[in-house]
Structure 1
Amino acid sequence: MEIAEKVRTNFEFAGCDTVELAKEYGTPLYVVSEEKIREQCREITQSFLKKHQNTKATYASKAFLTLAMCKIIEEEGLGLDVVSGGELFTAVHADFPMEKIVFHGNNKSYEEIYMAVSHGVGRIVVDNSHELDMLEDITNELKRTVKILFRVSPGVKGETHEYILTGQKDSKFGIPLEGDGILQVVKKATNSQFLKLMGFHFHLGSQLFDKNAYILAIKALTNLMKELKDKLSYETQELNTGGGFGIYYTNGDKPKSIAYFTDAIMEELKIQCNSLQHTVPSVVIEPGRWIIGNAGVTLYTIGAVKEIPNVRTYVSVDGGLPDNPRPALYKAKYEAVIANKNNQPRDRVVTIAGKCCETGDILIWDLETPEINSGDILAVLSTGAYNYSMASNYNKLPKPAVVLVNKGKSDLIVKREKYEDLIRRDIIPKHLL
C-alpha cells in the first residue's frame, strides 16, 4: 500500500523550508540562493562570453557583496566591479584576483585610488578630471602603470525611476560628450607616463527592459571613437557598456534574457564600427541586480495586526526600512507570501508595515494574503539586490543575518548583529564620565 506524500504547506526556497530557516536563524533574515546566482552567471557565460568574441563580464558588487559572494563570482569566472574602498577591501580579503577588478565611483578619494593602484586592480574607471589628476600623481609616486577607462555620459535617457537614471546629460556621473572636455582628458591620459587609456565606460541606469537605450548609447560612443581617431589618432580598445538589465519584481515587469541586450549591443557595435572604419573594441558588461536580485528573499516574523474598518489592515513585521529602504527611496514594489500558509487561499488584502518610527516605512501596499496571525512568517521575494547592501541601523536596529542556501542546505555567511555591536565604536568623552 502506497503512503501518500505529505503535502508541503510551507514556502520553499532553493530546497529549504523557509519557516524552518526562520526558526533556526531568526528574523529578519536575508536568504540567498547559491544555485540561482550560479545559474545567472552561467547564462552570461553561454549567451555572451562564449557567443561573442573578445568579451568580458564583471559582477556589479554594489548590489550585494560578501566574502562568500566573492568566492562564487570567482569560481564562475566573472570579474568584480567595485565602487569604494570598502568593496575593494572585501575583495582583497576574499583573495579575489585583482586583475579582474574594475574600480568605479564618481568621487573616489585619494586613499581609495592609492589603495586600488597599490593592489594592482585591472581597471580604474575615471569619472572626471579631478580623479585623473589624483591618479596621475599616485601612479607617478608609485611608478606603477594603470589601465583606465573614462566614464562618459552619452546623453541617453532610459525608461526607469529618475533616481536610478545615470546616462542622461544632466548626471553626476561621467564626462559629457558635448564640448571638448572629453578631448582634453584623453589628451592628458595618452600623454601620461603611467596611465594606459583602454577606452570608455557608460551606464544608463538600473531596471531597464528596453534594448533601444543601449543601441543609442553605442551610436554615441562609436561617433566619439571615430572623432578621437581622426583628431588624436587614438584608437579605442575597450568599451564597457555597464549593466542595468531589468528583473522581475511584480506583475507588469517583463524581464528579458541577457542575450536580448548583449546581442543588440554587439550587433550595433559591429555595424557602427564597420561604417566608421574603426576596429571593433572588446566589450565588457557589468550586471549586478540581474545576477543577484531574484536569488534572494527576506523573511520576517509578523507581529501586530491592526485593522481599520473600511480603510485598510496594517500587518507589521520585525524589520522594514533599515533592512529594505528601496520602497521608501523610490517606491520599489515587491511580491510576498505568508510562508507558513503558502497553499491557503489569498482572500484578504493587507498592507505590510515596518517597525520603524516613519509613516513611510511600508514594505508592500495591498498584498493579497490568507488570514494572518501574529507569529506567521512573511517571505518577501526578489530582495537579493540592494537590500543587504543598503541596510542601516536606523532606530538602533541590528542588521539581519545572511544565509546562503543550496539544494536544501543552508550556511550562515553573515552573522546577525547584536545590540553590543551597535555601540562598539561609541566613545564617551572624559568630561561626561
Structure 2
Amino acid sequence: MTSGGLTECLRKTFVTLDQIKEITRTYPTPFHLYDEKGIRENASKLKEAFAWNKGYREYFAVKATPNPFILNILKDYDCGCDCSSLTELMMADRLDFDGKSIMFSSNDTPAEEFAYADKVGAIINLDDITHIDFLEKTIGRIPETISCRYNPGGYFKLGNSIMDNPGDSKYGMTHEQIIEAFKILKSKGAKNFGIHAFLASNTVTNEYYPALARILFELAVELHEKTGADIKFINLSGGIGIPYTPDKEPNDISVIGANVHKVYDEVLTANGMGDVAIYTELGRFMLAPYGCLVTKAIHEKHTYKEYIGVDACAANLMRPAMYGAYHHITVAGKENAPCDHKYDITGSLCENNDKFAIDRMLPKIDMGDYLIIHDTGAHGFSMGYNYNGRLRSSELLLKEDGSVQMIRRAETPKDYFATFDFTDIFKGIE
C-alpha cells in the first residue's frame, strides 16, 4: 500500500456514518458494537467446515468476549463454552449450557474452581500432571471424562511466517508427562479421555490447524497404544487468526476443515480411531472481525507530531498499548477520502502508550468525526480495566434487522465506588 494513498483507507465496515449518528442519539461514544449478521454467518461456516466429523463442537473461548447475549447467539449453532475461571463457569451455567457443553481449561487453578467445574459437570482439561492429585483431593475422585493439555516443547515452525516457542510456555505437559498422566488417570477410574494443545497465536494461514492436528492425532495413536486409554475427543484449541492489517488475506475455514479431515483420515482413521470427536475453542476467529470500537475525535494537538485525541482510551481497548497491536481505523463518512494526514490517535490515560495508532496515514480528521476502530470483537472489551478511574464503555449489538440493542450498559462512577466499605461517603453518586 502506498503511504498516504487511498488504498490505505479502504477497509469494509459493517456500520455506516448514518447508522452511527442514529445510534449516538441514544448511546454516547465510546461503545463497542457487534455485528449479529456477521457473527451468525461465521458460526455457520465454521460448523459446515467440520460437519464431516460426527462429534464436532466449537467451544467458544469465553475470555474473548464474555457477554451472555453473544454466547446465546453462538448457542444457536450448538457452540459450547471454553471457560478458564470461576466467573466464566458461572456465566455458562446460568445460561443453561449443560456440562458436556462446558470445557474448563485453566492453569494454576484454585481448588474452588475445580470444585465448581465438577459441580456443573464441565469437562475438566488438566494443565499439569501434578493437578491429578490436586483435583482428586479437591473433589474426592477423578471424573470419568477427563482431558490433558499437551506441550511438545521446543519451537513450532510453519513455513516462513509462523514460529512460536511452546517450550517457553507455562501451559501443558511434556510428552513423557502426558503418557504417565493417562496411565495414572486410568488407574484412578477415568474412562473417557481427551487431548488438548495450543501452539501458536493468531495464525493467518490455512496450514496451522492441519499441522497441529497431525501432532495431536499422532500423539493420540501413541497414547492409545501405550496406555489403552479410550480417546473420545481431540481439542485443536484456538490459534486461527484474523488479518488485522489490510494487506493480509483472511483464513479460509472451509479449506482448513478439509485439510484437517485429510490428516484425520491419514492418521486416526487409518489406525482404527475414526470415531474421535474434534473440538475447537476459537475466540478471535469467531468474534474479532464482527466487533468495532466507535469513538469520537474531541481534541487535536500540534506539537512535535500531529495528535488526534478521542473519547476512548486504552481502558476500552488495551491491545495497542499492551502489545503495540495494529487495529485498522476508518474515519466514518471519509472512506473514499485520500489518506494524506499522519496522526497519532490517542486516549486520555496518563500513560504515553495510550495510543490506538502511531504515525497512521488517515484522511483529515475534524473535531466531532467518528472513528471506527476495527476488529475489537474479541479481546477488546474483555481486556478493559479502570486505570485512572476510567470507566468501561457499553456494548451494543447491531441486529440483523438493523436495530440496535444494548447488551451491556456503560459503567458509572457508582460501579467504580461499589466495592469500597465506606460507601456512605459516596452516597448520591450515580
Task: Return the TM-score normalized by structure 2.
Answer: 0.88
Contact map agreement 2:206 2:251 (CA 8 A) in 1? no
Q: Deviations over 1:364-391 (max 9, x none)?
A: 1233333222222211111111011100
Partner of 2:44: 42
Count of residue correspondences = 409
1:116-127 equivalent positions in 2, closer than 5 A: 116-121=117-122, 123-127=123-127
Deviation at 1:187, TM superposition (A): 1.2
Deviation at 1:300, TM superposition (A): 1.0
Partner of 2:21: 19
Q: Distance in 1 between matches of 2:164 and 2:83?
A: 17
Q: Distance in 2 between matches of 1:398 and 1:429?
A: 18
Is the partner of 1:24 in helix, strand or coil? coil
1:251 aligns with 2:246: yes
Does the C-alpha gap of structure 1 residues 320 and 88 become closer, same or farther in structure 2, counting only changes over 3 Å? same
Q: Deviations over 1:29-81 (max 9, x none)?
A: 000111111111100122222x3333222211111011111211112211111
Does the C-alpha gap of structure 1 residues 135 and 167 become closer, same or farther in structure 2, counting only changes over 3 Å? farther
Is the partner of 2:367 in helix, strand or coil? coil
Contact map agreement 2:99 2:121 (CA 8 A) in 1? yes
Letter in 2 for 1:124: I
Does the C-alpha gap of structure 1 residues 67 and 393 become closer, same or farther in structure 2, counting only changes over 3 Å? same
1:148 aligns with 2:169: no
Does the C-alpha gap of structure 1 residues 429 and 421 become closer, same or farther in structure 2, counting only changes over 3 Å? closer
Unaligned runs of 5+ in 1: 1-10
Partner of 1:186: 182
Contact map agreement 1:60 1:287 (CA 8 A) in 2? yes
Partner of 1:289: 284
Letter in 2 for 1:244: G
1:189-208 equivalent positions in 2, closer than 5 A: 189-193=185-189, 195-208=190-203
**Which moves more between the two structures, 291-300 or 269-278?**
269-278
Letter in 2 for 1:402: E
**Which moves more between the two structures, 295-304 or 339-348?**
339-348
Partner of 1:425: 419
Partner of 1:83: 84
1:59-138 equivalent positions in 2, closer than 5 A: 59-121=60-122, 123-138=123-138
Deviation at 1:12, TM superposition (A): 5.8
Contact map agreement 1:200 1:240 (CA 8 A) in 2? yes
Does the C-alpha gap of structure 1 residues 154 and 212 become closer, same or farther in structure 2, counting only changes over 3 Å? farther
Partner of 1:313: 306
Letter in 2 for 1:337: T
Partner of 1:376: 369
Deviation at 1:394, TM superposition (A): 1.0
Is the partner of 1:334 in helix, strand or coil? coil
Letter in 1 for 2:413: Y
Deviation at 1:274, TM superposition (A): 5.0
Q: Distance in 1 between matches of 2:200 and 2:49?
A: 22
Q: Distance in 2 between matches of 1:376 and 1:166?
A: 40
Partner of 1:414: 408
Q: Distance in 2 between matches of 1:387 and 1:34?
A: 17
Does the C-alpha gap of structure 1 residues 146 and 325 become closer, same or farther in structure 2, counting only changes over 3 Å? farther
Deviation at 1:313, TM superposition (A): 0.8
Letter in 1 for 2:204: F
Q: Distance in 1 between matches of 2:163 and 2:147?
A: 21
Deviation at 1:146, TM superposition (A): 4.6
Q: Distance in 1 between matches of 2:102 and 2:246?
A: 35
Partner of 2:156: 157
Q: Distance in 2 between matches of 1:304 and 1:291?
A: 34
Partner of 2:173: 175
Is the partner of 2:397 in helix, strand or coil? strand
Letter in 2 for 1:420: K
Letter in 1 for 2:174: P
Is the partner of 1:395 in helix, strand or coil? helix
Q: Distance in 2 between matches of 1:261 and 1:60?
A: 19
Letter in 2 for 1:176: T
Partner of 1:242: 237
Is the partner of 1:237 in helix, strand or coil? strand
Q: Distance in 1 between matches of 2:83 and 2:285?
A: 16
Contact map agreement 1:29 1:403 (CA 8 A) in 2? yes
**Which moves more between the two structures, 311-320 or 79-88?**
311-320
Unaligned runs of 5+ in 2: 1-12, 425-430
Q: Distance in 1 between matches of 2:421 and 2:273?
A: 60
Q: Distance in 2 between matches of 1:351 and 1:20?
A: 28
Deviation at 1:336, TM superposition (A): 1.2
Does the C-alpha gap of structure 1 residues 16 and 305 become closer, same or farther in structure 2, counting only changes over 3 Å? closer
The two structures, once aligned, show a CA RMSD in angstroms of 2.7
1:242-391 equivalent positions in 2, closer than 5 A: 242-274=237-269, 276=271, 278-279=273-274, 281-308=276-303, 311-391=304-384
Q: Distance in 2 between matches of 1:362 and 1:348?
A: 17
Question: Identity rate of aligned residues, in percent?
Answer: 26
Deviation at 1:356, TM superposition (A): 0.7
Does the C-alpha gap of structure 1 residues 125 and 341 become closer, same or farther in structure 2, counting only changes over 3 Å? same
Deviation at 1:14, TM superposition (A): 8.0
Letter in 1 for 2:288: G
Deviation at 1:340, TM superposition (A): 4.7
Deviation at 1:223, TM superposition (A): 3.4
Deviation at 1:84, TM superposition (A): 0.8
Partner of 1:5: none
Q: Deviations over 1:222-274 (max 9, x none)?
A: 33333323332224221111121111222222221112222222211221235
Letter in 1 for 2:312: G
Contact map agreement 1:153 1:167 (CA 8 A) in 2? no
1:225-240 equivalent positions in 2, closer than 5 A: 225-240=220-235
Contact map agreement 2:197 2:235 (CA 8 A) in 1? yes
Contact map agreement 2:17 2:332 (CA 8 A) in 1? no
Deviation at 1:165, TM superposition (A): 8.2
Does the C-alpha gap of structure 1 residues 365 and 23 become closer, same or farther in structure 2, counting only changes over 3 Å? farther
Deviation at 1:343, TM superposition (A): 4.7
Is the partner of 2:26 in helix, strand or coil? helix
